[in-house]
Amino acid sequence: MKNKGALSVIFITIFVDLIGFGIILPILPFYAETFGASATQIGLLAASFSLMQFIFAPFWGRLSDRVGRRPIIIMSLFFSSISLIFFGAAQNLVMLFAARIFAGIFMANFSAAQAYIADITTPEERAKGMGLVGAAFGLGFIFGPSIGGLLSSQSILLGLENAFFNLIKINISGVLTAHPYQIPAYFAALLAFINTFCAIKYLPESRSAADLIAAKEEQKTSHSRLELMKKSIFHPVVGFFVVLYFLITLAFANLEATFALFTERVHHYTSTDNGYLFAYIGVVIAIVQGGLIGPLTKKFREAPVLIAGLILQGSAFLFLPYTVSLTSLLVVIGLLSAGNGLTNPTLQSLISRNTDRNKQGGVLGITQSFGSMARVIGPAWGGFFFDEIGIAAPYWSGGILLLLCAWLAWYAAQNMQRSQYTAD
């Protein structure tokens, strides 16, 4: 690695940010239900966030090429904290939608962090570096959902009141009982504020002055955002992987939007129980991406690992609706999480390795934009299938799509080999 210190700092920054994101994840469907939201509306709530990311992620990515990764990451962390305050203060479903839209506009840190990793790693180390970002994501899911689930628990909140607030003779049990999902949101906002100040102090810039000047000059004379998107999609190698990223995210987004509802209706789990499940998912992803992805890609290369991950995920999707006990549920989501841990860093590495250095932010932003569009369609698809066809429908359809993606990944890998052979 060119800069192990910088890699450690970006890892911690994303880890803390994902704790805040993970805190919200298990409570969002239940919070929306307190305002009378249906499964379809909950899917649209998730889609509203992703629609804004689709529109703005390429802009932030290209801007990070010109002005640097550091200011974009800091900006994103700050506005994330503001959006979480709005989220906690919501009084109805409209305000909840507004808070998620605001968050989606400024959620630029993940693509900027990926570009940051691309800046400080060699092509051979790229998958391992992307895996560390994924590991930070997984570790955030270990702690975040657990914290969110616990802070939304009535017994935990009232226990805290008895332990602390009675000392100063303040009774807030009525507030906590009426709005148990506000406390996790405010706690996540506090974490985001702290993370912002830490990033300002400790996060170095990954782009050199020469790189920033070169990117500015290139963007003056080359592509608009739409042109860059068109060139990315029709690139003989990158285009396949961007489309693949869209389809994989599409399948996974429909699960994310309905998973808490599935466990609530089939397994009778609460938001606290779902917090523990998401933490378990995070453990598996962190183990795979933090410890296994480097050796696996070094031995087998990225494409075979990507295909194996897709087959693993697709198979787990198909079996998920038929889990009848906690043990079977843990086995299936464990396999699903392992497959996801293999898929994401290898795919990001393949996109990055086939992209010009001064276009990393822009192309990775385009990739995240397509992922965001998938998160617009996926939750709406999942919520509709869940309501209108049946509980198993989102997972059967998602599993079939992922298995088709395994074939597309094989085809894309063959196309990449042919392109490299021609170039040589």
**Amino acid at site 286:** A
In the chain, domain spans = 4-414
Neighbour tally for 132: CB within 10 Å: 24
Would you state the pLDDT for residue 153? 63
Domain topology for 4-414: Growth Hormone; Chain: A; (1.20.1250)
* Alpha carbons 181 and 89: distance in angstroms, whole number: 10
Structure tokens at 132: 């560390």
101 vs 92: CA distance, rounded Å:
15
pLDDT per residue as tens, the chain (424 positions)? 456 667 778 888 888 877 877 788 778 888 888 888 887 788 788 778 878 877 887 788 778 888 888 898 899 889 989 999 999 888 889 999 999 998 888 876 677 877 888 788 777 777 777 777 777 776 776 777 777 777 766 545 444 445 444 444 444 444 444 467 788 888 888 988 998 998 898 888 887 777 777 766 666 555 555 565 566 665 667 778 888 989 998 888 888 778 888 888 888 887 678 777 877 887 888 788 877 887 888 888 888 999 999 999 999 999 999 998 889 999 999 999 899 889 888 888 888 777 776 666 667 777 777 887 887 788 778 878 888 888 888 999 999 999 999 998 888 888 776 665 444 4
Which amino acid, one-letter code, is at 282? G
Extract the tokens encoding 70.
Answer: 């550091």
Note the maximum CA span of the chain: 77
Locate 169 and state its tokens. 């003779």
Question: What is the rounded CA–CA span in Å between residue 20 and residue 137?
Answer: 11
- Report pLDDT for 170: 44
- Six token digits for residue 267: 């397994």
